[in-house]
């Protein structure tokens, strides 16, 4: 009789542990869903701003002469000098 009582107690304890694990998994799933919802809302909120900034940067064309560009061949070998040495 005592062994049956002990077996029943073990089964009840196992059920409690099982139920606690199920509750923990439900809470984790809810927390994950809440985080995903918050992340998606943040992404949608900033998506428009990021795209606007990117388009402004790409479309803002300002023609400028590169700092290494030399006018009138100053600082570069001219093509005639290259022909003589090559």
Q: Check residue 78 and give its pLDDT.
A: 47
Q: Would residue 74 count as lying in a domain?
A: no
Gyration radius of the chain's alpha carbons: 37
Q: Would residue 64 count as lying in a domain?
A: no
Q: What is the DSSP string of 68-79?
A: T--GGGTTS--H
1: pLDDT confidence band, cut at 50, 70 and 90?
low
CA distance 13 to 15: 5
Question: Does the pLDDT of residue 72 top 70, yes or no?
Answer: yes
Per the structure block, which two tokens stand in for 36? 């995903």
Q: What is the pLDDT of residues 3-60, one digit of tens each?
A: 778 888 888 899 999 999 999 999 999 999 999 999 998 888 889 888 999 999 888 8
Q: Count of domains in the chain?
A: 1
What residue numbers bound the domain in which 29 lies?
Answer: 11-58
CA dihedral (59, 60, 65, 68) positive or negative: negative
Higher pLDDT, 49 or 80: 49
Helix (H, G, I), strand (E, B) or coil at 1: coil
Can you tell me which residue has the tokens 């790409």?
58
């Amino acid at each position: 009789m005592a062994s049956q009582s002990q077996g029943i107690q073990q089964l009840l304890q196992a059920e409690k542990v099982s139920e606690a694990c199920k509750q923990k998994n439900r809470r984790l799933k809810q927390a994950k869903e809440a985080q995903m919802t918050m992340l998606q809302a943040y992404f949608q909120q900033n998506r428009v701003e990021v795209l606007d900034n990117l388009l402004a940067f790409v479309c803002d064309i300002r023609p400028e002469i590169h700092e290494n560009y030399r006018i009138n061949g100053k600082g570069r070998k001219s093509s005639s000098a290259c022909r003589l040495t090559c």
